[in-house]
Amino acid sequence: MNPETLPSPVLVVCLCAEWCGVCRDYRSRFEQAQAKLAQAQFLWIDVEDDADLLHPLDVEDFPTLLIAVGSEPRFFGPITPHIETLERLVKSLMDNTDAPKPVEPEVLALVARIRAVNGC
């Protein structure tokens, strides 16, 4: 999809923990995907450092991604820590506006809090 035709800003958030070795290894791959998908805003959030922001959600599996287009969550859940998986998922959600969306009110509220805190 052409960035100029995106309906709303795309937000890709990785929810991880500094103590998690998988997360530490995944961070550089997450940043590589950010460089390739410049039309999306990527954020790295440590679940322990930002526990108040995430409350009442409890993230137990790492890495967990939250992808939103505008204020609508498009994906929330754990993924395998591979750059190809991340890129394919982000692109597919950007291209498919009819994709099923998480309907949990906690996830919807989290998108709003992240956008407000990060000015995006």
Look up the CATH number of the domain holding residue 36.
3.40.30.10
Q: Is residue 3 part of a domain?
A: no
Q: For residue 84, tell me if it sits in a domain.
A: yes
Give the mean pLDDT of the chain: 88
Task: Look at residue 87 and tell me if it is in a domain.
Answer: yes
Cα distances (Å, whole numbers) of residue 64 to 6, 16, 86, 98 = 24, 7, 11, 22
| Range of the structural domain that residue 38 is part of | 9-118
pTM: 0.86
Q: How many domains does the chain have?
A: 1
Asked, for residue 109, whether it belongs to a domain, the answer is yes
Q: Is residue 1 part of a domain?
A: no
Tell whether 110 is covered by a domain: yes
Domain assignment present for 2: no
Residue 50 maps to a domain? yes
Say whether the peptide bond before residue 63 is cis (omega within 30 degrees of 0).
Answer: yes
Q: What is the pLDDT of residue 9?
A: 86
> Mind listing the pLDDT tens digit for each residue in 58-102?
899 999 999 998 888 999 999 999 999 999 999 988 887 676 676
